[in-house]
Structure 1
Amino acid sequence: MDSQCSCVVVTGFGPFRQHLVNSSWEAVKELSKLGLGSDVELRILQLPVDYREVKQRVTRIWEDLQPQLTVHVGVDPAVKAIFLEQRGKNRGYRDADIRGFRPERGVCLPDGPEVIVSRVDMKAVSRRVAVEGVAVAFSGDAGRYVCDYAYYLSLHHGNGCAALIHVPRLSPWLPASLLGKALQVIIQEMLKETEKARLKDRCTGNSLGKSIQGEPTGGLLL
């Protein structure tokens, strides 16, 4: 990899339940056609809706690629807007994955903090980005399914340099091409936020990443 390029990993999810075509992966494929700029090496990866496989693959992303930022994209069939998730939760994973598996005691990492907050200021990003044809909004609760599970793991391994974006299902009014363009605009803004955080840390001497305690709530999103 070119030392002058930043590596950004963006993942989408495969089929689950009635969602034989997952809009998250379709959007990520469209993003790969657009890229994130000449100074960013974009890697995309489809994750299965499988807790155990996700844990292995997310760990390998951070160990092997050491990206500047990892962005997980999931689908929320109940929404019409794109939601930027601020935090990942450690507990409450009680819904079975596509193989019928549930994490033991519903926990992602037994010794992990209850909540890990992204280094990316999602409220700031949601205020600054504008994508014609789809709204972009902030969310503080990503639900409790494999997408939030992957997000928490990425926040843990990446010292907070991770993001989760929930996109709506595809429709004639919201095609994959529009979602892909939206991802491009949003992630480029997220990269500006991560650079601001790095500069701030250099000035203050703070370490990357932060966690807060919180009570798990939420439902099924992917």
Structure 2
Amino acid sequence: LDEQKKLLSKTLKIPFGEHAVNASWVAVQELEKLGLGHDINLHVAEVPVEYQAVQRLLPSLWKQQLPQLVVHVGVSGMASTVTLEQCGHNQGYMRLDNCSFCPESRCCLEGGPDCIQSVIDMDTVCKRVNSSGLGVSVSVSKDAGRYLCDYTYYTSLFLGEGRSAFVHVPPLGKPYSAEQLARALRAVILEMLELMEHSEGKKHCVHDQ
């Protein structure tokens, strides 16, 4: 077990708007069936679309699982590709969550940096997966939307010192099936772990100034 890579894959539970079926959760369940290989320990969990739940659950999950990498997955009605988010943002949270709550400070962490970058170069991951012939298009974004996706990502990046990622997937059938999304998530995560392995020992600046 000491030699196993630990990966914590979390998915946002998003039952709002037009999303009758949560593509992110369905895709992650399919990913769990596929697995990531015998030497990678994959842990899957749901996180409610609630600011206070994020603040309560993420610290304990990071502490209990001791993951090498945390990958969050959420659905975006605006996405037509599997979208890799490069960074999380601290401020600008104005929308109410599923409990009709919004932080009074409108931020994730009072006094925290405005933006935290993942230690993973998402452009490199994107290029590698797109050139692999997978049949699912991958793109990169630097704006996760200033709602629970962004809020969760920033919190995780802060707790993990940048060892986190967020992947937005499109709704099911627009244009990809759950199985296609799962294969894309698998390819993306394996590339992320590969990059992290080759960058071990290097110093990363994860906080934008």
TM-score interval, smaller chain: over 0.9
1:219 maps to which residue?
Answer: none
State the match for 1:72 in structure 2. 72
Residues 31, 183 of structure 2: 8 Å contact kept: yes
Percent identity reads: 41
Structure 1 match to 2:82: 82
Aligned length: 206
Shift of residue 20, structure 1, vs aligned partner: 3.1
After TM superposition, the structure 1 = structure 2 runs for residues 92-103 of structure 1, keeping only pairs within 5 Å, are 92-103=92-103
Q: Is the 1:119–1:160 Cα contact (8 Å) retained in structure 2?
A: yes
Distance 1:10 1:135 in 2: 21
Deviation string, structure 1 residues 167-221 (Cα, Å, up to 9, x no partner): 000017411111011100000000011112214x2xxxx3x552103xxxxxxxx
- Deviation per CA, 1:123-155: give whole Å up to 9, x if none: 000011135342101111111111111110111
Rate the CA distance shift 1:85–1:172 in 2: closer, same or farther, 3 A.
closer
- The amino acid across from 2:105 in the alignment is R
Residue matched to 2:13:
14
**Cα distance in 2 between the residues matched to 1:58 and 1:76:** 21
Q: Report if the CA contact (8 A) 2:80-2:174 is conserved.
A: no
In 1, Cα distance between equivalents of 2:61 and 2:195: 21
Q: Which amino acid aligns with 2:52?
A: R
Tell me how far 1:105 sits from its aligned partner.
2.3
Inter-partner Cα distance in structure 2 for 1:15 and 1:123: 27
Kept after mapping to 1: 8 A contact 2:85/2:143: yes
| Partner-residue secondary structure (3-state), 2:187 | helix
Partner of 2:109: 109
Report the Cα distance in structure 1 between the residues aligned to 2:84 and 2:194, rounded to whole angstroms: 15
Contact preservation (8 Å) 1:84, 1:166 = yes
Separation in structure 1 between the aligned mates of residue 174 and residue 142 of structure 2, nearest angstrom? 29
Q: Which moved more, 1:172-181 or 1:22-31?
A: 172-181
Q: How big is the alpha-carbon RMSD for the aligned residues of Structure 1 and Structure 2?
A: 1.4
Distance 1:51 1:209 in 2: 26
Gaps of 5+ in 2: none
Deviations 1:32-72 (A, max 9, x none): 00111111100001111111101211111111111000000
- Is the contact between residue 36 and residue 42 of structure 2 (CA under 8 Å) also seen in structure 1? yes
CA contact under 8 A between 1:167 and 1:179: conserved in structure 2? yes
Match of 1:218 in 2: none
Contact 1:133 1:174 in 2 (8 A): no
Match of 2:173 in 1: 171
- Counterpart residue type for residue 85 of structure 2: E
SS in 1 for 2:144: coil
Q: Secondary structure at the match of 1:153?
A: helix
Query: Aligned with 1:84: secondary structure?
Result: strand
CA distance in 2: counterparts of 1:51 and 1:140, whole angstroms: 21
- List 4+ stretches of structure 1 deviating above 6 A: none
1:176-187 to 2 correspondences below 5 Å: 176-187=178-189
1:211 is matched with which residue?
207
Contact 1:119 1:197 in 2 (8 A): no
Q: Secondary structure at the match of 1:137?
A: strand
Q: Is the 8 A contact 1:159 1:209 kept in 2?
A: no
- Contact persistence 1:10–1:42 (CA under 8 A): yes
